[in-house]
Structure 1
Amino acid sequence: MYQLKGDGWEPVSGGESDTSVYRRGDVFAKCCSTNGVRELRDERDRAEWLAGTGIPAATVVDWLESPDGACLMTSAVPGVAGSDLPSAVQVQAMESLGRTFRDLHSLPDCPFERPLASVIATAEDVVRRGAVNPAFLTDEWRLLDPAELLARVVAERPYIEIGADLAVCHGDACLPNVFFDPESLAVTGMIDVGRLGIGDPYLDLALITIQLYDEWSADPTPFLRAYGVPDPDRRRLEFYRLLDPLTWG
């Protein structure tokens, strides 16, 4: 693991990746071992690109490498994480979230791709290694073997690929990764963009809507209306809700 130099770095809890995160003032440092350098470098490149698009996001402050690993330093995003917003402002926040993701998905000329084939290949690897985290699965899915869940994904793939629109996707669109101004409820920034790339925007829509339901106990209709899909393809949403937890491990 890359070792930070200097005083004042405080460890930050949270996150699911094999990295250690620290904060000093308005700078976050995400450190990894040699095995994670490629993945962290990919996150750096995506963060640099997104910061230049006009979409509010964390900016890259520094990049450090050593024989022990690497460290990505990014600016702290102002505001409050979506997971920490009070229930009284959730409808307004959902509308702001919908508009922001509509803008993200409308960005042109993204140099990064995340095709469905590669996402399914990641899921196949996680399942093959027996590395699926049951905490990411619903109660119903935990009753089944991960290989059976993967088989459902593979069976649905032809339907998903036919007619799929492609757009710039965040790839890990969960409430802790989006920050809001606590007064205006405008989105102030996105973080953890290591999975950003051209893909099916329903991936982001699926993750956000299930988070709104699970974390806020909220009807996601205001978000979907603000985004522009008041009547989404439910089959497509369910597909990505099942696929995503199979890709972490």
Structure 2
Amino acid sequence: MSGGERERACTAALVPESMAAAVEGYEWARDIVGESGGVVYRLHGKSDAPDLFLKHGTDAVADEVTDEMVRMRWLAAYLPVPRVTHFVRTHDQAWLLMTAMHGRTAYQLLRSDEQARFAIVDALVAFLRRLHAIPVSECPFNSDHLFRLSRARTRIDAGLIEIDDFDDERQGWTAEQVWTAMQGLLPMALDPVVTHGDFSLDNLLIHDGEVVGVIDLGRVGIADRYQDLAILWNCLDEFDPSLQDRLWQQYGIADPDRSKLQFHLMLDELF
């Protein structure tokens, strides 16, 4: 989350007193991409101090920030994730302060280095296989499609769906049309693994050819493996369809389940 097109400089935000010393002396920048009702700041420029990220949310978003904190601490035993430095929760607000991770996003690298695109996809798939290999029995979080459908229905009824952000093939659809189309793809055979929930190119950090970190962990939990595969597959379409083929080859799926792909992409439209 760096670069002028993704953030803008801002004044320091008001934080709880217990967090004030930890953020003192930093320059602040506010993320302007994908805040989803919350606020994300990058704290940087402090001599001999690491960059930090601060997430803040109120009401329902405070619950999401709390969910991310709990999942981040759990996933740290298995994969490289940001380290929680401070967390404060009140009845209606949450602040999550965490270390920044080095590396560039997979999106940045795919845009800037066409010759390395297959190698980048290989690194992403290797990391995804590590995630999916975590024993389901060790994961305390549920993120399956039934749980997410329930949350999606609540969001639809509350008028929270941003239909202008739908993928091209669903431009002009209503949220109810997406909901109805999803029902036509159920039931489906389940293949549960530990998933990230939003395995997109902006959430994966790469350095020296390897994924060195994963961020935005609020949806981590047990779900069908296509929850992650569908989002990554869809992201790669922006660059070259051959990268999508590479995904299946490296992951080891000879015949992708198109029904599951469509279901999880439509489900993602509602979040």
2:157 — aligned with what? Answer: 128
Deviation, structure 1 residue 67: 6.3
Equivalents in 2 of 1:59, 1:139: separation in Å?
A: 36
- Equivalent positions of 1:176-187 (< 5 A) are 176-181=202-207, 184-187=208-211
1:209 — aligned with what? Answer: 233
1:169 aligns with 2:182: no
Contact 1:98 1:225 (C-alpha < 8 Å) held by counterparts: no
Deviation, structure 1 residue 62: 1.5
Equivalents in 1 of 2:251, 2:30: separation in Å?
A: 32
Consecutive unaligned residues in structure 2, runs of 5 or more:
1-12, 45-50
- Equivalent positions of 1:1-249 (< 5 A) are 3-4=14-15, 5=20, 6-13=24-31, 14-25=33-44, 26-53=51-78, 55-66=79-90, 69-85=93-109, 86=112, 87-108=114-135, 109-158=138-187, 160=188, 162=189, 164-181=190-207, 184-214=208-238, 216-219=239-242, 220-246=244-270, 248=271
Letter of the structure 1 residue corresponding to residue 191 of structure 2: D
Deviation, structure 1 residue 232: 1.4
Count of aligned pairs between the two proteins: 239
Cα offsets for 1:91-141 (capped at 9, x unmatched): 101001111101101101111111211111122122223322123313342
Equivalents in 2 of 1:243, 1:19: separation in Å?
A: 21
Consecutive unaligned residues in structure 1, runs of 5 or more:
none
Equivalents in 1 of 2:263, 2:216: separation in Å?
A: 23
Task: State percent identity of aligned pairs.
Answer: 29
Deviation, structure 1 residue 152: 1.2
2:5 — aligned with what? Answer: none
Contact 2:185 2:259 (C-alpha < 8 Å) held by counterparts: no
Greater RCO, CA 8 A, separation 6+: 1
Determine helix, strand or coil for the equivalent of 2:185: helix
Contact 2:163 2:173 (C-alpha < 8 Å) held by counterparts: no
* Moved >6 Å (runs of 4+): none
Distance 1:147 1:67, change over 3 A: closer
Q: Calculate the TM-score normalised by the size of structure 2.
A: 0.82
Equivalents in 2 of 1:34, 1:122: separation in Å?
A: 15
Q: Report the aligned-residue RMSD.
A: 1.8
